Structure 1
């Protein structure tokens, strides 16, 4: 009673202070109650040591201290799994600093949620990309919008169409060879990431727009602005900056300036192309598309024809929603299409710089299939692009590089109350919890890839060892697998065919570590910290992949 009287007296004498105290007490109680319920959920689930106070934040902090800053999260997940012997599935409770997750590391379990019973992309993926690219990009959107975008774009990534792009790849790669020849003559150190990004961007620009963007021969405003967006995405993961209001305003202002330059360029090309198609009476073909933009505009032209009854309409006014959807996905294609292939090429050159036997075998394969003469090789390639499929060892080198350096993972989402079943045991999925498909983990697991730290292309050709399709997770699996994987593989084969016979790369300024920083790989004792991929839009090369190149005599 005395306590009640004291509280009543305080409320009467200091009503404002008492109201504020009450609100703060109620808020603190709710936070504590929510925290208790959240922590209790993870108490008996597989994962690293769990703290009732800190969850798994302390574990993540300890692992983060061993891996270079700004590394892609896939490295942290794999190291946690190795350090605490976690197999198949484990949980990470990172509340309230970051989203909590259930991490899948077994290929069969990943197949369950991507192939047999595909789950939608998690909203956190949209939340990550939307501030940079815009909403409803094909990589993260779900439902009818994804089906509409996938249906529109898919013909541009068919094998039959990709082979028609061989001449485009050869033309652009000729400029790349010329740049390499200059660096070989000067002997200077250069960024392979920067140089390769310009090459790959010119190729994806032709695929998207069907005209040259000249990134290799001029200062491309498209590429410059898109790479600034990548840097903004990288800065977006800085927790300190995210809570700094000055830094947040500065980032917002920078993004506003970048998009203010980029959007008019892309919108102008969309408008010009639409008007041309209408005025020329052209309905883009799905069987023989000129560009992805044409395919995305096709539905609007068909709608115009059906409403007018003939190809007489000279103007279509796109709705704001349709315009934004086009704009977002053109940016997404240009950004993702050049970034991931660029990253892969950098690591292929890095690995080959320390693999003379593999390099020799690949060169011999190129000679056997296309001949030893460079001009003859180009002619043969242009005459018969399908011969690129007769390069199994080159294909194996690409896959082995992508195994060691996958471009990232996807996060899926299940309905509240859903469960995953592993070896007869059911595991709950909490509301809004991310289901992380960490393909990086099985790629560095000797249960799936014996001698997993070795760069051994032969594992993809060995009929006894073999590699089941489900083990290779770089491009994902199921209906949400990477739409551009065929294009990427062909691009890489054309580049290697036109480059490795005449040029050899060497990493510059390597600082190998005396002992491995992680338990899942020892590659850093050969190449140093550059093996730890950075987080941008995807897992990108650290430090720009600085190299020198020389002629192969």
Structure 2
């Protein structure tokens, strides 16, 4: 027997083992609800066929939703993508979603957010892994309420005047800009104001904060490719350290300047400092009234990084809101009418109204509904969970989900016609108080619930309301994609189809737009 024949024996045995193993995995899906299934390749062929019909950078959960629609799959179905992933069960039923997130208190699937490291420090991931973290956290556990956020609105609105001036300049020059980038800078500015209590100058020429933010977050996309990550990681870590150092310095400066001991400009840090100076926190004992402990400072730094980066996911939502309002001028007219009735018809009257009565934002019912409808149509994607239960039950059938990834599919859930009539249409009136057809409990859940819910959802809605209120009074926006630009399915945005080419889902090409000043 030759050496080649001897070496071929273990290779052949390995191939046989792999084939047997794959066959065993595939057979587990035999009687489960699923799309057409290949006996050896699982669901790779069906997904690849669907991928060939859409732009190559489309957000992958949308491809799964297209498969769901094509084969009329039930609200519980399975995908077999072994060996790349564990078995995945997709859920688009409000009751099951509630059970997984709120009754079973399942945690997010390991590794989902770790892809944002080093932009977000590992300390933050350890923090949110604690089921009770929102109770003891020195920021989230202190005055993290809508009533507190409303107090920050006047300063947020004032900070956005630089954005309005920039839009005015682009209008004069007939310049195309990228709405997703502008919205990111606006969200970053308002989040910085809410957290630090000071302005970040995000719209200043060569802004240090926007430059540092983009340097710390842009590598996220390249690093998702395991072959590219080793080459990206060294410079990424360097940029992340710079970003974190800026946050740390800002936190220390806010503490040193907090001369009124919690009675100054409202901010998340101001509230936290007030508790720290008085008694400290159980997890972060006070050194003295005038000195930040090292652990407390590092916790506030990692929290600041997570908040600034996580909050900018709202940029995609606000971008899609502008797109949808352009496509539905009748709804835009109603929205502007509401803004005029509640806050006034020009920038100065709006700023004065928000300065004197920031709670007026709560009276913008249609604005709130527009944002909720935008989040229904363009959610941030499925939430992946690791469920502690070994089974789930639906319509009298029990499914084994041990070692499964449980995906709560917002794209599917939010477009079920039995829950949201005419589900692909933009109809914010369905979310108004007293709507004829009420929204079923737990059917709208873009911020999720239970462990891993978005703690900043109230603040996110406030920031998006402020941006819509200030911009729509003065400007009209229209998308300006090139004729040869790739186009996705119209129900997912058409030219502005959702891609996975950002920190989170984002409009294709950053949503290029042209802005025009409204006639006075």
Structure 1 length-normalised TM: 0.84
The answer on 1:350 being equivalent to 2:327 is: no
Equivalence for 2:495: 529
Equivalence for 1:248: 229
Equivalence for 1:111: 98
Residues 120 and 171 of structure 1, relative CA distance in 2, 3 Å threshold: same
- RMSD (Å), alpha carbons: 3.4
- Residue from 334, 350, 364 that aligns with 1:391: 364
Cα deviation per residue 1:367-411 (whole Å; 9 max; x = unaligned)? Answer: 222233542332222211112111211111111112111122321
**SS at the partner of 1:471?**
coil
Equivalence for 2:148: 161
Equivalence for 2:479: 507
Unaligned runs of at least 5 residues, structure 2: none
**Offset of residue 231 of structure 1:** 2.9
Paired with 1:485 and 1:25, the residues of 2 have a C-alpha distance of: 55
- Residue from 289, 301, 307 that aligns with 1:333: 307
**Offset of residue 175 of structure 1:** 1.6
**Offset of residue 290 of structure 1:** 4.6
**SS at the partner of 2:477?**
strand
Q: Is the 8 A contact 1:296 1:326 kept in 2?
A: no
Equivalenced residues, count: 518
- Residue from 505, 511, 515 that aligns with 1:539: 505
Unaligned runs of at least 5 residues, structure 1: 1-5
The answer on 1:411 being equivalent to 2:384 is: yes
- Residue from 221, 229, 250 that aligns with 1:269: 250
Paired with 1:43 and 1:140, the residues of 2 have a C-alpha distance of: 40
- Residue from 453, 461, 465 that aligns with 1:489: 461
Q: Is the 8 A contact 1:396 1:457 kept in 2?
A: yes
Residues 132 and 102 of structure 1, relative CA distance in 2, 3 Å threshold: farther
Paired with 2:59 and 2:137, the residues of 1 have a C-alpha distance of: 27
Equivalence for 2:77: 90
Q: Is the 8 A contact 2:346 2:473 kept in 1?
A: no
Equivalence for 1:475: 447
**SS at the partner of 2:435?**
coil
Equivalence for 1:435: 406
Paired with 1:75 and 1:307, the residues of 2 have a C-alpha distance of: 42
Cα deviation per residue 1:282-339 (whole Å; 9 max; x = unaligned)? Answer: 5x69xx99543456667876776999999757655525xx6665443321111111x2
Q: Is the 8 A contact 1:155 1:161 kept in 2?
A: no
Structure with more of its chain in helix, by fraction: 1
**Offset of residue 21 of structure 1:** 6.0
Cα deviation per residue 1:319-360 (whole Å; 9 max; x = unaligned)? Answer: 5xx6665443321111111x2221111111111112111111
**Offset of residue 261 of structure 1:** 2.4
Equivalence for 2:172: 185
Q: Is the 8 A contact 1:71 1:534 kept in 2?
A: yes
Residues 252 and 384 of structure 1, relative CA distance in 2, 3 Å threshold: same
Q: Is the 8 A contact 2:391 2:400 kept in 1?
A: yes
Range moving further from structure 2, 405-414 or 459-468: 459-468
- Residue from 27, 34, 40 that aligns with 1:47: 34
The answer on 1:292 being equivalent to 2:268 is: yes
